[in-house]
Amino acid sequence: MTATAALPTTALAGLLLAMADDEFVIGFSDSEWTGIAPLLEEDVAMSSLAQDEIGHAAALYGLLAELTATDPDAIAYDREPGEYRHCRLLDHGRGDWAMTIARRYLYDTADSVRLDALVGGSWTPLAELVGKLVREERYHLMHAGTWLDRLARTDGEARDRLLAALADLGPDAATVFTPLPDEPALLDAGIIAADSAELERRWRAAIAPTFGRLDLPMPPAAREPERGRQDHGQEFRWLWGEFTMVRRSDPGAIW
């Protein structure tokens, strides 16, 4: 582990919180398909992906808890809805299957660009974890890409629903790359290899061939980009109520 003297703890905590909240929220939201996915096999697949994301969130909350000497469960469950730092893309509920696929494709491609910029970073605990996450996310990308492809190429209801989902999500898609608080400190310390603006350029370059081939509209620039990880709306408040319900039913209980 590198010397902690030079570690920009606050900036690093902000990065970990943003990543963990992203994984936690999409994982929990996608888990709502358990039991009602389009077919049994897909039900297993989507539930397994959702579980993976919750696992990634747990690992990231764990690092954050060690860094800040707090409790990972408390970070995950004991905040008010306004204190979560996931991107606004994930404030959109799971919607229909096309919405879930579009959200997952946009998020997974963006997350993949972000992870690639963290591989080999100077803070060993995160760099090591990211090395593992990247391997699991490969399958997530395959799954989302397969479904995006088939919805886009099936004229009629499938393509119409996908286009509607992309129109709805588009203006929030790039919020994954909302600049983090004190981002320059992360760059200076070598924890992340590029700033948010550069990561967004890489992401757009990465998805452009697919969007071109499938004749889909590229996501526009994010609206209110500086507030992309704040102002969570009513849909997230509902989800928050769901995922904190058991914890709030008996505060402090040991499970």
Residues 254, 45: Cα–Cα separation, whole Å: 31
Q: How far is the CB of 47 from other proteins (least distance, A)?
A: 9
Residue with smaller CB distance to other proteins, 44 or 208: 44
Q: Work out whether 35 is an interface residue with other proteins (CB under 8 A).
A: no
- Among the listed residues 66, 146, 153, 217, the single contact to other proteins using CB under 8 A: 146
Q: What is the nearest approach in angstroms of other proteins to the Cβ of residue 44?
A: 5
List the one residue from 2, 7, 34, 42 that touches other proteins (CB under 8 A): 42
Q: Are 29 and 93 in contact (CB under 8 A)?
A: yes
Size of the site for other proteins (CB under 8 A): 15
CA distance 3 to 24: 30
Residue 132 in contact with other proteins, rule: CB under 8 A: no
- Angstrom distance (rounded) from CA 174 to CA 171: 7
| Tokens 């990880």 found at | 229
Distance CA 203, CA 106 (A): 9
Rounded-to-integer distance, Cα 181 and Cα 199, Å: 16
Q: Is 139 in the site for other proteins (CB under 8 A)?
A: yes
Going 20 to 100 to 39 to 150, the CA torsion angle's sign is negative
Per CB under 8 A, 36 contacts other proteins: no
Element (H, E) at 100: helix 97-116
Part of the chain binding other proteins (CB under 8 A), chosen from 41-49, 86-94, 98-106, 244-252: 41-49
Quick check: 142 binds other proteins (CB under 8 A)?
yes
Which residue among 45, 115, 141, 189 contacts other proteins (CB under 8 A)? 45
The residue ranges that bind other proteins (CB under 8 A) are: 39-42, 44-45, 48, 139, 142-143, 146, 154, 156-158
